[in-house]
Structure 1
Amino acid sequence: MTRPVPSPPPEHHHQGAAPALDALPQEVVAVSTDALAAGFHEVDATSTVQANRQWWDIEAESYYQEHGEFLGDAELVWGPEGWTERELGLLGELQDTLSLEVGAGAAQGSRYVRSQGARAIASDISGGMLGKSRQIDADLGQPPLPLVLADGCALPFADETFDLVFSAYGAVPFVADSALLMRECARVLRPGGRFVFSTTHPIRWAFPDSPGPDGLTATMSYFNRTPYVETADGELVYAEHHRTLGDRVREIIAAGLRLVDLVEPEWPERTTSSWGGWSPLRGQSIPGTAIFVCTRE
């Protein structure tokens, strides 16, 4: 999940034919957290893709070790509040649908929809994260999910292929052109299909990423769309892009989608743990997650 604030040293952060997973590089070079610097400046789409692919390749194992128990191996958790698809039912009927998870990470969400009768395909920009998915399937003794190494802004699928496209804190904030991502997701949806995605609630951009009282005071403009970046020895290693709530709605409509619901889940009493800047204290006052439920006309 995401961390839109500079705080030295920053905490680690949660996509033609696609390359076969077996052909992916097996080693990545770790970035020393001692060398990281954080701030805000413009970065282009290509640099964003390269940095975030490497970041998630490096972070795949540690991210799973830190958050795997919370996420579950075969659940679709919509955000740090802990609400699941099993509880919210935002995807609609899953039996016999063909689904695509974009920014799937270790594909926990795809494993869940498969358990509900869907035919699931999981895609992510990171081979490291997809490799973790293969390991989870093996550990569970389940058939391996179909996995596709792909940028969410260039999905390697034909038009009108899927009944459902979804993403839980994946891809949307990690691409420079989220309007293009919306168009791609709409393109691969069949008419009447559903696109559901969750991401950091846009209002959080204005607040420090702190779980305590200092995270309740806005310190920057909500309307500042300059990307949050992390660099190591001057090289970009992580980038996150902000859009306002209005931006998101306009992107959805421009892609030919209809917004049918916008869910701002409240923090439940049962979730007593914090996840980076998401915490029970902050959850009592401001939303942390926005879930957009869309259909293709």
Structure 2
Amino acid sequence: MKGLFIDASPALAATLDAQPRPAGIEVDLNLAAQVEPETLPGLLAGYDFALNDHSFMPTEVMRHCQGLRHVIFLGTGARSYMNPEALAELGITVHIIKGYGDRAVAEHAFALMFAAARGLAAMDRAMRAGTWRRTEGPELAGKTVGLMGYGGIGREMAMLCRAIGMRVLVWSRTPRPEPGITFVELDTLLEQSQFLSLHLLLDDSTRGILSAERLARLPEGAILVNTARGDLVDEAAMIEALKSGRLGHAALDVFALEPLPAGHPLTGLDNVTLSAHSAFRTPEASANLMRQALEIAGRLG
């Protein structure tokens, strides 16, 4: 079986090279920040499978990728870049990788929550501009954090929040009662969460789940953290809530459109902390990711 890593960054390429290959598996590297969709048929000619980090794979383009039978998406968010069901009809199976970076993403969400609460990004921007700005923000101990979703990342986030004395509420479509965690209905979660952190997969049932109406249920001045998927949130409604101050702060690693365009409204708001879809980018998580990708490839033959 022969595969191509279509959009390998130097760091991920090096991590992949450090992993042992399963017997009979070859993986070539295409070092590229992003692959233009129209180039995919030529790029993937002669390959059985593709590793995809973050490149779009439109169905109509993939129809012309003769011989390709598998796409191993490096993460869980394949639906943001392709239609797995439509590709399956073309004979191309999409594989996703879960759990490789649960701790990494939770730690990033935790860091964003702290940064938002204490205004670290605003102070940093001001000081770089020559202004001595001092912000005030709440201590997190004793505050209520609501988690939307309770998979591997949500569980890690709950553990971190409990460790500093936060009250943890969870809404999940599949509740699994655990000591120290209180599962509640979604409306209750929204109404009581001083901090809200999103940990849901994106699918048809969760797209836009944090609508304008649900954002309005949050306590005034609440802080929103999103390290899951941008399309879980009604972005326009979130921006309006931030402008009015009804939503106190948004700490975001993911966006409806990525990369975030220059001049995007979020970049002009003082009560926003931004990171570039990097919550899962740790050496430890990358090694887990590449190892699991190769394990999937090894099972394809």
TM-score by length of 1: 0.40
Please tell me whether Structure 1 or Structure 2 has the larger radius of gyration of its CA atoms.
Answer: 2
TM-score by length of 2: 0.40
Relative to total residues, which structure has the larger helix share, 1 or 2?
Answer: 2
